[in-house]
Structure 1
Amino acid sequence: MGTVLQFVVLGLGLGAVYIGLGSGLLLVHRATGMINFAQGAIATWGAYVFAELRNTGTLVFPVGSVDLGEPPSTATALVIALATAIALGFAVHYLAFRPVQQNSVLAQVVVSVALLITIQALVVLRFGPNKIDVESFVPGGTVTLLGAAIPTRELFIALVMVVLAALVWCYLRFTRMGIATRAASENERAAVLMGFSPSWLAAIAQAGAAFVGTVAVILASSLTGLNADYFGLLVVPALAVLLVAKLESIPVLVVAAIGLGAFQSLIGLLVTQPWWPVWAQSGLDQVIPFAVVMVILFVTGKRLPTRGATQQIRLPDVPIPRIRPLVAIGLVVAAGLALAFTTGTIRFGLTTSLILSLLALSYVVLTGYLGQISLAQSAFAGAAGFVLSKASVDWGIPFPISMILCALLATALGMLVALPAFRIRGAQLAIVTLAAGLGIERFIFNNYSLSPPEGNPIADASLFGMDLAVREGRDLSRLAFSLMVLVIVAIIVWVFVRVASGDMGRAFLAVRANERAAESSGINVRRTKVIGFALSAFIAGIAGCLIGFSRGQLSAESFTVMAGLQLLAVAYLGGITTIGGSLVAGLIGPLGISYVLMRTWLDLGEYYELVLGLALVLTAILNPVGIAGAVRHQVEFVRRKLRRPATSPPIDAPRREEEASHV
């Protein structure tokens, strides 16, 4: 019993982080109606500023730094770090969130994801990729409870975060600004009538969220050290806690956060028991947030609250694709020539771009056409890729049957993840799919009993005796493999065009526009959603298998959640509603040809994620249709100009004027 109690108390440190991040998420949602997926990254930046001040005496900014000569005191460093976090909160609101506050939920999610990518990239560039130690200023020691030595640090951290959460609750409930913030969450005009600017209230909320989250990360990092990826993705369980609280109750959020942290810590105790199965000893704690969300959705069955809006929100236009044989043949030939006349790294970058275009196309199907925001596409691709290792090596299933079977497995996984879409949509669905993606990554991809640390080897593809291996001797990217990828991409795109231009494509768009109207017109909305998720996951599964063939083996790093978020970024940046957008996304995607050129020609590969994140923020604010959509609009504008008749007067104009003068 004493050991169990010790592990429960150890889990309070993790629960305290969930309280801080969750309270900030709730505060921002009550003020803006938006879900800030970058909450953990924002808090992590402030914690890194504190750690750097205490370790080296340097105040680091996103650009530049100030050497203070010697490390300041803990209190001074804490004040500076929290002031930096508050300033970052204001900047995030005015530069990113405010411009898209009245845009579609998709644009809001994309901006939030872009901030996560940008801030994470800045942390790595400014502070380095390795974990750094943080000086502990939390009172140490132990107390005896029920015969067990209980550490006091976790108790102190949890107490501090409960007090801060109580202050957030008091602000929202008893202060005039807090009441106005709650009013704005229902109707912005109500806040205006109270004499407050909804934008200013939102900025205060964003700054307060950054403050509370930063305190939580600083306190927790004094126990574990600082790691950007770890604390940045702690937003996922914090989002699960937020859903438990139904996005509005601070007391429920606090209880759920403490309970989740304690339960995850107990899982760490259970996995050490001899009776615990080996295959479930890694990553199970990350499956719990997803399971919590799923139980809430299917047990309560109540729709989560949404924010009142002052205007209608228009989604990006979706052009119906048409098959243009000459254009299609020209693109395929051009791609084939580009592959034929390049070698080595450049050809491999082009091949990777073709594969990434398929992953981007899976977003086009699901998000662009069906309107469902999924952040689990990388997990679908990874699931197919990892099973391909078993199918090609252990089971001896030949290509392309192995690839199709693995893609069908990803399809089944996609259909399972589609179940929450029956009840929720928008940012809430993004939360569920992000939790699912993280759970799959940690429980399957990072599970050494299922995926060995040395990687999962994949047998080379061959067809009718033709060797389709990606490498041979010193040739790192064989033309046969690249052409095989090109053929598969062309086939998948042709199938998508057939689906999107037919009845199913029209059903997708009807559900995207208005689910109730689609239901009343005879469209089975649930079946349409399942088909959309299935088709999207199948395409992602094909892409995951091709990534496996191109690498020769797969590891967990190939399909991380951050990689999936980057894919969403490039899909939106290229144009998430068009095939052309997916092709552009492939060109600018991670490890694609643009990345290769940045790394080899400009030596700027380390800045790729930063450039990607900033470009995505600007695209979501200024150009929601993406690069391909902007090009299409310009082409249509030129065509209208060329087709417009001359404005010279008609031939009989003089005669009409003469007749009018006589009258």
Structure 2
Amino acid sequence: MSTYLQFIVLGFGLAAVYIGLANGLLLVYRSTGIINFAQGATAMWGAYVYAQLLIDGTLVLPIGSIEFDEAPSIPVALAIGLVMAVLLGVVTHYLVFRPVRRAPALAQVVVSVALMLTVQALVVIRFGPNNIPIESMIPSGSISLFGTSVSSAEVVMVAIMAVFSVLVWAYFRFTTAGAATRAAAENERGATLLGFSPDRLAAIAMVMASVVSTVGVLLGASLTGLNPLNYSLLVVPALAVLLVARMESVATIVIASLVLGAFQSVLNLLTGESWWPTWAQSGVDQVVPFFVVIVVLFVFGGRLPSRGSLQTIKLPDVVVPRFRPIPAALVIVVTGTLLAVSSGTYRFGLTYSIILMLLALSYVVITGYLGQISLAQAAFAGAAGFTLSKVTTNWSMPFPIALVFCSLVAALLGMLVALPAFRIRGAQLAIVTIAAALAIERFIFNNYSLTPPSGNPIANPTLFGLNLGVREGSDIARLSFSFTVLVVAAIMVWAFIRIASGDTGRAFLAVRANERAAAAAGIDVRLTKLIGFGLSAFIAGVAGCLIGYSAGQLSAESFTVFVGLQVLAVAYLGGITSFSGAAIAGIIGPLGIVYVLVHNIFDLGDYYALISGIALIITAIMNPIGIAGEAGRLGALLRARLRGPAAAPDSPVSETGDEVDHGKVAVADA
């Protein structure tokens, strides 16, 4: 029993981080209505500044640095680190969150995801990708608890974060600004009429969120060190804690954090027991937050509090696609010609762009057309890819049967993840899908009993005796493989156009516009969501299989949560509501042709992720319809001007679900 008690107390160190991040999430949400997926990433900036000051006396800034003659003391380094965190919070509020406060949930999710990617890339550039130690502010020691000697540092950490939680509670309960923030969360118009500025209240809350979250990361990192990947993703269990607290109760945040941290610690102890199944020894602790999120949202789903704002901006319009044989043939011929005349890394970059286009197309289906925010597309792709490894090496399943079978596996997984979408939507669904993606990554992709560290080889695709593999000898990008990818992509795009322009596509758009109105019009909303998730996961699965064939073997790094978020970023940047946006996303995406060209010419390295993150933030704020949407809008205006006042652009579908066609309005689901 004493061992269990010791591990429970050890889990308090992780609980301290959860308390800090969850309180920060609460402050941001109650003041802006935004779920800040970047809370962990922004909180670790101040911690990195603190750590670097103590290591060599260097104050690292986003651009440049200041060298001190000697390393400052811990209190001075702590003060500087917190000041940097506050400055980042202020900049985040005024330049990132304030412009999208009244934007759709999709834009808010995308902006916070882009901020996470930007800060993480900046941390890697300025501090390096490796784990760095951080000096603890709390002396180590032990205390006796129920007759058992346990570590005292974790208990002190929790006590410190409990004090910060009391301060957050007191701010909401006893201060005028806190009361006004709570009032604005319920009725922003009323708070404004009473003379309170929601922007100023949000700035105060953002500063407080930065401080309390950074202190939590500082305390936790003294035990584990700082790592840009791990601390960015600790926002997922913190979101689970926030949901348990129903986005309101500070006391529940503290209790839920203690329970979750202790339970995960004890779970790690149990996985080392001889009776524990081998297949469940890796990543099982990361499955717990996912189940917590699922249970809470299923139980409370529609009753979770939301923020009342003055107004909201509609989602970007959708242009119903039409199949045009001549332009389609021209695109295929041009793409095939480029593949034929290129070679080496450039041909591989073009081929990978086509694959990324398919992965981005899965986002277009689920988010652009159905209006459901999914952050798990890379997990679906990975599920298909790892299944491909099993069926091609163990069962010798031939191409293209293996491609279809593995994509159907991804589709089934997508429909399983779709079940929570029956009751929730928007940012809450984004929380479910990112928790699912992290659980799949840690429990399956990083599970050595399921995916061995030696790699997951994939047999080369063959068809009628022809080798369609990507490599042969010194040729790293065979033309036969590139043409195979082009043919598969052409079939998938044709199928997408047929579905999107038919009754199923119109049902997607009706559900996206208004679920209640769609149900009143006779559309089965639940079945439509299942079909949408299944179709998007199938497309992602095809992309995952092609990624597997292009690599010859797979590893967990191929389908991490961050890979999915990066593809979402470029999909939104290109235009989340159209195939042309997916095509642009494939071109500019990681390892795509633009990435290869830029890397070979300028060798940007980690700066590519930083630049794409900043570009996504700007796009979500200034031009939410993306590059393709803006180009299409300008093209339609130009054509309308050339044709005269009677002409009209190609049938966009508005947020109300209406399809505009030459000045007449037809209900999209009619």
The amino acid across from 1:9 in the alignment is V
Cα distance in structure 1, aligned partners of 2:530 and 2:243: 23
Cα distance in structure 2, aligned partners of 1:280 and 1:222: 28
Equivalent in the alignment of 1:403: 403
Cα distance in structure 1, aligned partners of 2:28 and 2:190: 18
Quick check: 1:51 aligned with 2:47? no
The amino acid across from 1:329 in the alignment is A
Q: How far is 1:644 from its partner?
A: 2.5
Q: How far is 1:345 from its partner?
A: 0.1
In 2, are the aligned partners of 1:124 and 1:228 still within 8 Å (CA)?
yes
Q: How far is 1:193 from its partner?
A: 3.0
Cα distance in structure 2, aligned partners of 1:645 and 1:170: 61
Cα distance in structure 2, aligned partners of 1:196 and 1:420: 37
Q: How far is 1:302 from its partner?
A: 4.5
Q: How far is 1:449 from its partner?
A: 0.6
**What SS class does the counterpart of residue 169 from structure 1 fall into?**
helix
The amino acid across from 2:415 in the alignment is M
Q: How far is 1:313 from its partner?
A: 2.5
In 2, are the aligned partners of 1:180 and 1:194 still within 8 Å (CA)?
no
Q: How far is 1:190 from its partner?
A: 2.3
**What SS class does the counterpart of residue 75 from structure 1 fall into?**
helix
Deviations 1:473-499 (A, max 9, x none): 000000000000000000000000000
5 Å matches for 1:24-173? 24-173=24-173
Equivalent in the alignment of 2:215: 215
In 2, are the aligned partners of 1:303 and 1:423 still within 8 Å (CA)?
no
Q: How far is 1:248 from its partner?
A: 1.1
The amino acid across from 1:187 in the alignment is N
Cα distance in structure 2, aligned partners of 1:464 and 1:230: 46
Cα distance in structure 2, aligned partners of 1:293 and 1:91: 30
Cα distance in structure 2, aligned partners of 1:436 and 1:52: 34
In 2, are the aligned partners of 1:364 and 1:582 still within 8 Å (CA)?
yes
**What SS class does the counterpart of residue 602 from structure 2 fall into?**
coil
Residues 1:525 and 1:256: Cα distance change in structure 2 (over 3 Å):
same
In 1, are the aligned partners of 2:165 and 2:250 still within 8 Å (CA)?
yes
Deviations 1:356-405 (A, max 9, x none): 00000000000000000000000000000001000000111111111111
In 1, are the aligned partners of 2:301 and 2:424 still within 8 Å (CA)?
no
Q: How far is 1:146 from its partner?
A: 2.8
Equivalent in the alignment of 2:264: 264
**What SS class does the counterpart of residue 418 from structure 1 fall into?**
helix
Equivalent in the alignment of 2:413: 413
Quick check: 1:447 aligned with 2:447? yes
The amino acid across from 2:346 in the alignment is I
Quick check: 1:242 aligned with 2:271? no
Q: In terms of mean alpha carbon deviation, does 308-317 or 254-263 score higher?
A: 308-317
Cα distance in structure 2, aligned partners of 1:224 and 1:314: 43
**What SS class does the counterpart of residue 385 from structure 1 fall into?**
helix
RMSD of Structure 2 on Structure 1 (CA): 1.0
Equivalent in the alignment of 1:197: 197
Q: How far is 1:157 from its partner?
A: 0.5
The amino acid across from 1:286 in the alignment is Q
Cα distance in structure 2, aligned partners of 1:363 and 1:45: 30
In 2, are the aligned partners of 1:598 and 1:605 still within 8 Å (CA)?
no
Equivalent in the alignment of 1:644: 644
Deviations 1:1-20 (A, max 9, x none): 10000000000010110000
Q: How far is 1:296 from its partner?
A: 1.7
The amino acid across from 1:491 in the alignment is I
Quick check: 1:472 aligned with 2:472? yes
Cα distance in structure 2, aligned partners of 1:337 and 1:626: 28
Equivalent in the alignment of 1:331: 331
In 1, are the aligned partners of 2:23 and 2:253 still within 8 Å (CA)?
yes
Equivalent in the alignment of 1:658: none
5 Å matches for 1:580-591? 580-591=580-591
Cα distance in structure 2, aligned partners of 1:310 and 1:511: 24
The amino acid across from 1:86 in the alignment is V
Quick check: 1:293 aligned with 2:293? yes
Equivalent in the alignment of 1:457: 457
In 2, are the aligned partners of 1:361 and 1:579 still within 8 Å (CA)?
yes
The amino acid across from 1:146 in the alignment is F
**What SS class does the counterpart of residue 282 from structure 2 fall into?**
coil
**What SS class does the counterpart of residue 276 from structure 1 fall into?**
coil
Quick check: 1:187 aligned with 2:184? no
Equivalent in the alignment of 1:5: 5
Q: In terms of mean alpha carbon deviation, does 194-203 or 321-330 score higher?
A: 194-203
Deviations 1:433-470 (A, max 9, x none): 00000000000000111111121000000011111000
Q: How far is 1:641 from its partner?
A: 2.0
The amino acid across from 1:282 in the alignment is S
Equivalent in the alignment of 2:516: 516
The amino acid across from 1:414 in the alignment is G
Q: In terms of mean alpha carbon deviation, does 306-315 or 217-226 score higher?
A: 306-315
Equivalent in the alignment of 2:653: none
Q: How far is 1:254 from its partner?
A: 1.1
Deviations 1:171-220 (A, max 9, x none): 01111000000011111122223322100111111111111000011111
Residues 1:556 and 1:81: Cα distance change in structure 2 (over 3 Å):
same
Q: How far is 1:304 from its partner?
A: 1.7
Equivalent in the alignment of 2:660: none
Cα distance in structure 2, aligned partners of 1:40 and 1:571: 23
Equivalent in the alignment of 2:351: 351
Equivalent in the alignment of 2:429: 429
Cα distance in structure 2, aligned partners of 1:271 and 1:563: 28
Q: Which runs of 5+ in 1 are unaligned?
A: 647-663
**What SS class does the counterpart of residue 599 from structure 1 fall into?**
helix
In 2, are the aligned partners of 1:180 and 1:190 still within 8 Å (CA)?
no
Q: How far is 1:299 from its partner?
A: 3.6
In 2, are the aligned partners of 1:367 and 1:576 still within 8 Å (CA)?
yes
Cα distance in structure 2, aligned partners of 1:532 and 1:79: 50
The amino acid across from 1:84 in the alignment is M
Deviations 1:607-639 (A, max 9, x none): 110011000000000111101111111111211
**What SS class does the counterpart of residue 230 from structure 1 fall into?**
helix
In 2, are the aligned partners of 1:376 and 1:433 still within 8 Å (CA)?
yes
Equivalent in the alignment of 1:373: 373
Deviations 1:88-121 (A, max 9, x none): 0010010000011111110000000000000000
Equivalent in the alignment of 2:659: none
Cα distance in structure 1, aligned partners of 2:301 and 2:594: 45
In 1, are the aligned partners of 2:302 and 2:424 still within 8 Å (CA)?
no
Q: How far is 1:145 from its partner?
A: 2.0
Deviations 1:285-332 (A, max 9, x none): 000000111122334454322111212431101000000111100001
Cα distance in structure 2, aligned partners of 1:190 and 1:629: 36
5 Å matches for 1:500-579? 500-579=500-579
Cα distance in structure 2, aligned partners of 1:599 and 1:67: 31
The amino acid across from 2:27 in the alignment is L
Q: What TM-score do the two structures reach when normalised by structure 2?
A: 0.95
Q: In terms of mean alpha carbon deviation, does 601-610 or 48-57 score higher?
A: 601-610
**What SS class does the counterpart of residue 150 from structure 2 fall into?**
strand
In 1, are the aligned partners of 2:124 and 2:606 still within 8 Å (CA)?
no
Identity across the alignment (%): 63
Equivalent in the alignment of 1:649: none
The amino acid across from 1:251 in the alignment is A
Q: How far is 1:149 from its partner?
A: 1.4
Cα distance in structure 2, aligned partners of 1:74 and 1:301: 44
Q: How far is 1:244 from its partner?
A: 0.8
Equivalent in the alignment of 2:318: 318
**What SS class does the counterpart of residue 319 from structure 2 fall into?**
coil
Cα distance in structure 2, aligned partners of 1:532 and 1:99: 30
Quick check: 1:616 aligned with 2:611? no
Cα distance in structure 1, aligned partners of 2:444 and 2:534: 21
Q: How far is 1:645 from its partner?
A: 7.3
Cα distance in structure 1, aligned partners of 2:611 and 2:334: 28
Cα distance in structure 2, aligned partners of 1:9 and 1:372: 40
The amino acid across from 2:244 in the alignment is V
The amino acid across from 1:539 in the alignment is I
